Amino acid sequence: MTAKPAGALGAHNAKVMNRFELTKRLVAHLKRDEAVVGGIGNANFDLWASGQRAQNFYMLGSMGLAIPIALGVAIAQPQRHVIALEGDGSLLMQLGCLATVAERSPKNLTIVVWDNGIYQITGSQPTASSAAADLVAISRGAGIANSSWAADEADFERLAASALKGEGPSLIAARIDNKPAVATTDRDPVQIRERFMRGLGVKTRSNS
């Protein structure tokens, strides 16, 4: 099930790609200890599988909050680039956060949206983006001018490299297939949070 003729997704020419493949390509561009916040579900799982960097934060719940969490990190650490990885279902749950990001306009924040048009982890029910909602158009409408569909893998890498220059908030959306993630994360929230904070050079109770 990769063809999506209906709705906004059918209207553009973006190639259907694979999330794990794109996650690996994205991580390969991270040379400056950029922070990555993985949204709940497969976004998270494929981030984990791509290599457990100390600057990765893996959400365990709070669906829809990857972008707000990433915005908070970006505000606290303006010198570090921060990337939120979010699925279409999660983003649809918290669309208002795009307007908040645009209003704050942090130079160091990039949002990556994996859009397969389904709530994959709960039984592959269709999301609104499988029908009519165009997440890039929504993002532009919210005020994130630098919002684009990745046409193919090379275009995704070009957009990612450009976003990492830190000239303003950006959103990159990729149409992806419905292959499941290749691994799952550990599920120890304190350990995940502690490791992330150490990775960001922040003192915590257990490392200070």
Partner 1 sequence: MTDSRTRATTWHDIVLATLKENDVRLVVYVPDRVFTPLIKALHADLFFTTFAATREEEALGIVSGAWMGGMRGAVLMQTSGFGTIPNALASLVVPCQIPALIFVSERGTLGEFNLGQALVCKTMRPVLNSLAVENITITRQDELAFSIDRSIKQAVATQAPVTFILSPLLTGGKVFEA
Residues lying near partner 1 in the complex (CB under 8 A) are found at: 35, 37, 57, 59-65, 67-77, 80, 94, 96-97, 99-100, 103-104, 189-190, 192-193, 196-197, 200-205
Identity of the residue, 55 or 148, whose beta carbon is nearer to partner 1 in the bound complex = 55
Give me the least distance between CB of 157 and partner 1, in Å please: 26
Among 22, 16, 40, 10, CA closest to 134:
10
Sequence-ordered alpha helix ranges (H) in the chain: 7-11, 19-28, 42-49, 66-76, 88-93, 96-104, 135-142, 153-163, 189-199
Report residue 175 as tokens.
């149409």
Please identify, using beta-carbon distances, which residue of 95 and 151 lies nearer to partner 1: 95
CB closer to partner 1 out of 109 and 159: 109
CB of 92 to partner 1, least distance (A): 14
Q: Minimum distance from CB of 199 to partner 1 (Å)?
A: 10
Which residues share a beta bridge with 172?
Answer: 112, 148
Instruction: Rank residues 62 and 125 by Cβ distance to partner 1 and give the closer one.
Output: 62
Instruction: Give the whole-angstrom CA distance, residue 34 versus residue 164.
Output: 9
CA torsion, ordered 21, 22, 26, 28, to nearest 10 deg: 20
Work out how close the CB of 175 gets to partner 1 at its nearest, in angstroms, rounded to a whole number: 26
